[in-house]
């Protein structure tokens, strides 16, 4: 393999480029990024960066003296892939020729339908999103966050600290239930009320009001909440449209095996755009976590260079979230019927460490302000294949 | 010199956070060596005393950058800067730390208490 194109210049793309060089690839390396910026770190966008505590320079992912000997094409989108010809088509009319392609185009925030031209309505995915939102987070303003997932919860937490009046609306009866389960999702969501954020669960949003600028949120039960600012934290859509017609299997993301291999040997996928086969789920499973983008890139690169998955071990998914001064950490994949035990604290305490067990084996762990115990128990997780 | 604790109070494989300014993490490795470094990861606010120690390295509990306990050097991003090390003196069975006078590499948004007070 003499040339590789990495499509995507965020954490997954940069990590893949680094892994290529570290694994001895000395050919031509091209990195294509849709944003005009150099690679930057997104997790602080809902926290320290949104609060104004750190600046843009602090988000840089590259080292000062880092040189990957790559050709960077930033501010251009890939629009097509002709794997047979080894060509990636770009929206500036040019194309990149490469023997191998790493798809790392990530995901984009799902926007609230019909709100594109309504001022004061935001999503949060990019630096530009964060800068625009920060402008609107004025003390005393009324913020409504749609969606009590991690992005929504972190924005609410930052906004409370900035002195806003904050309401979070969640359509599910329990926030975070799909990731943490009902009981622990509810426990973590209690942080909102404890810190002055109103949380409304089990009610959908039927629409936004306002002519040019948003004035409020209409709920499915007929209530109307006045709002100066609205943030939609309602999930992300994988950026895979450029691969339509390429022959790659696309579902919710690029369908891959457990090592990032796609249905075309010269193409691998990693990061938020990729759905790797997950033995614990028994199906392709898209993981949208920072750590996956960082760690799995090396596996995908080894798969690409060897032509197939080499069996490298893939760690259990891990994510963290900082809300209201609390550090939440989770590793593994939980299922609703897992048995939960507490190794520290309990449901009624601010800080606890919970282990999820299946057939008496630890399969996931959740910690709130328990980093030391979490670190230890995370290493004891035993991935259980879905069939067992 | 800062007195930390009796060596016997810090079993091998354990770490202790010292609430100095900035905080320091003291490690007693499985091989019986004692090291002291600044406790805060140079990338983001996380306590390295809560991290995972393997040999002479500690892995940050948040994002898995590893720091060499002997030199403070970091292995791979997200952390980019080394963590400051401090000299350890064990005398009469007591762990002492000689504070490094070099400026610490604290993560963005984190300052020492002294700097915070000075800015008020």
Cis peptide before A10 (omega within 30 of 0): no
Put simply, the answer to whether B52 touches A291 (Cβ < 8 Å) is no
The number of folded domains in chain B is 1
Q: What is the pLDDT of residue A387?
A: 63
What was the ipTM of the complex prediction? 0.89
Put simply, the answer to whether A372 touches B108 (Cβ < 8 Å) is no
- Residue that is last in its domain, among A306, A333, A352: A306
**Over the stretch A102-156, which tens digit does the pLDDT of each residue have?**
999 999 999 999 898 899 999 999 999 999 999 999 999 999 999 999 999 999 9
Q: What is the pLDDT of residue A277?
A: 96
Q: What is the pLDDT of residue A388?
A: 46
Query: Which among B50, B64, B80 has the least Cβ separation from residue A371?
Result: B50
The number of folded domains in chain A is 3
Tell me the C-alpha distance between A380 and A18, whole Å.
Answer: 29
Mean of per-residue pLDDT scores for chain B: 95
Query: Which among B62, B63, B80 has the least Cβ separation from residue A63?
Result: B80
| Confidence tier at B120 by pLDDT (50, 70, 90) | confident
Domain that holds residue B46: 2-110
Domain co-membership, A150 together with A290:
no
Domain co-membership, A87 together with A227:
no
Domain co-membership, A61 together with A128:
no
> Which residues of A are less than 8 Å from B64 in CB distance?
291, 294-295
Asked if the structure places residue B117 within a domain, the reply is no
The helix or strand, by DSSP H or E, that contains position A72, with its residue range, turns out to be: strand A71-74
Tell me the C-alpha distance between A70 and A250, whole Å.
Answer: 28
Q: Where are the alpha helices (DSSP H) in chain A?
A: 11-22, 48-51, 127-136, 150-161, 177-180, 182-194, 290-306, 371-378
How close B70 comes to chain A (CA, Å)? 21
| Confidence tier at A176 by pLDDT (50, 70, 90) | very high
**Which CATH number do you get for residue A138?**
3.50.50.60
Domain that holds residue A126: 111-232
Query: Does any CB of chain A come closer than 8 Å to the CB of residue B49?
Result: yes
Asked if the structure places residue A314 within a domain, the reply is no
**Over the stretch A283-300, which tens digit does the pLDDT of each residue have?**
999 999 999 999 999 999
Q: Residue A108: helix, strand or coil by DSSP?
A: strand
Nearest chain A residue to B48 by CA: give it: A372
Q: What is the pLDDT of residue B119?
A: 82
Asked if the structure places residue B20 within a domain, the reply is yes
Query: Does any CB of chain B come closer than 8 Å to the CB of residue A65?
Result: no
> Which residues of B are less than 8 Å from A61 in CB distance?
77-78
Tell me the C-alpha distance between A290 and A41, whole Å.
Answer: 9
Asked if the structure places residue B48 within a domain, the reply is yes
| Confidence tier at B76 by pLDDT (50, 70, 90) | confident
| Confidence tier at A45 by pLDDT (50, 70, 90) | very high
Q: What does A122-175 look like in DSSP terms, one character per residue?
A: E--SSHHHHHHHHHH--TT-EEEEE--SHHHHHHHHHHHHTT-EEEEEESSSST
**Over the stretch A80-93, which tens digit does the pLDDT of each residue have?**
999 999 999 999 99
Query: Does any CB of chain B come closer than 8 Å to the CB of residue A375?
Result: yes
**Which CATH number do you get for residue B69?**
2.102.10.10
Average pLDDT of B84-96?
97
pTM: 0.94
> Which residues of A are less than 8 Å from B47 in CB distance?
371
| Confidence tier at B77 by pLDDT (50, 70, 90) | confident
Inform me whether the pLDDT recorded for B19 exceeds 60.
yes
Asked if the structure places residue A300 within a domain, the reply is yes
């Amino acid at each position: 393999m003499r040339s590789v194109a990495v499509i995507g210049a965020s954490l997954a793309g940069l990590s893949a480029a680094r892994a290529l060089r570290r694994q001895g690839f000395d050919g031509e390396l091209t990195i294509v990024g849709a944003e005009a910026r150099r690679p930057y770190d997104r997790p602080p966008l809902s926290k320290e960066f949104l609060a104004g505590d750190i600046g843009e320079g602090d988000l840089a992912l590259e080292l000062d003296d880092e040189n990957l000997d790559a050709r960077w094409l930033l501010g251009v989108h890939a629009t097509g892939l002709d794997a047979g010809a080894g060509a990636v088509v770009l929206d500036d009319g040019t194309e990149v020729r490469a023997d191998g392609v790493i798809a790392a185009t990530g995901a984009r925030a799902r926007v609230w339908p019909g709100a594109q031209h309504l001022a004061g309505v935001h999503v949060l995915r990019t630096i530009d999103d964060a800068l625009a939102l920060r402008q609107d987070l004025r003390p005393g303003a009324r913020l409504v966050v749609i969606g009590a997932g991690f992005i929504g919860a972190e924005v609410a937490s930052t906004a409370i600290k900035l002195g806003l009046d904050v309401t979070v609306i969640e359509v599910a009866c329990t926030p975070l239930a799909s990731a943490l389960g009902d009981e622990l999702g509810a426990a973590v969501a209690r942080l909102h009320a404890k810190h002055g954020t109103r949380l409304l669960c089990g009610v959908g949003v039927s629409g936004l009001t306002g002519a040019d600028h948003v004035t409020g949120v209409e709920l499915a039960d007929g209530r109307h909440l006045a709002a100066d600012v609205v943030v939609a934290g309602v999930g992300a859509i994988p950026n895979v449209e450029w691969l339509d017609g390429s022959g790659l299997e696309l579902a919710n993301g690029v369908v891959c095996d457990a090592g990032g291999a796609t249905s075309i040997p010269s193409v691998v996928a990693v990061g938020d755009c990729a759905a790797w086969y997950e033995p614990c789920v028994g199906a392709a499973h898209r993981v949208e976590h920072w750590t996956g983008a960082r760690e799995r890139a090396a596996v995908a690169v080894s798969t690409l260079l060897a032509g197939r998955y080499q069996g490298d071990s893939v760690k259990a998914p891990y994510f963290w979230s900082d809300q209201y001064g609390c550090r939440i950490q989770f590793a593994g994949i939980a299922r609703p019927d897992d048995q939960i035990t507490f190794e520290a604290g309990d449901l009624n305490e601010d800080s606890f460490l919970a282990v999820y067990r299946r057939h008496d084996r630890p399969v996931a762990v959740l910690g709130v302000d328990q980093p030391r115990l979490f670190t230890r128990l995370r290493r004891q997780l035993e991935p259980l294949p879905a069939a067992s | 010199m800062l007195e930390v604790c009796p060596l016997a109070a810090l079993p091998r494989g354990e770490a202790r956070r010292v609430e100095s300014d900035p905080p320091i993490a003291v490690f007693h490795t499985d091989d019986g060596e004692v090291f002291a470094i600044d406790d805060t990861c140079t990338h983001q606010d996380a306590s390295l005393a809560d991290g995972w120690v393997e040999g002479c390295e500690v892995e940050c509990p948040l994002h898995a950058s590893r720091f060499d306990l002997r030199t403070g050097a970091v292995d791979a991003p997200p952390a980019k800067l080394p963590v400051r090390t401090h000299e350890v003196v064990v005398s009469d069975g007591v762990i002492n730390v000689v504070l490094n006078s070099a400026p610490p590499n604290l993560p963005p948004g984190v300052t020492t208490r002294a700097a915070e007070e000075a800015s008020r």
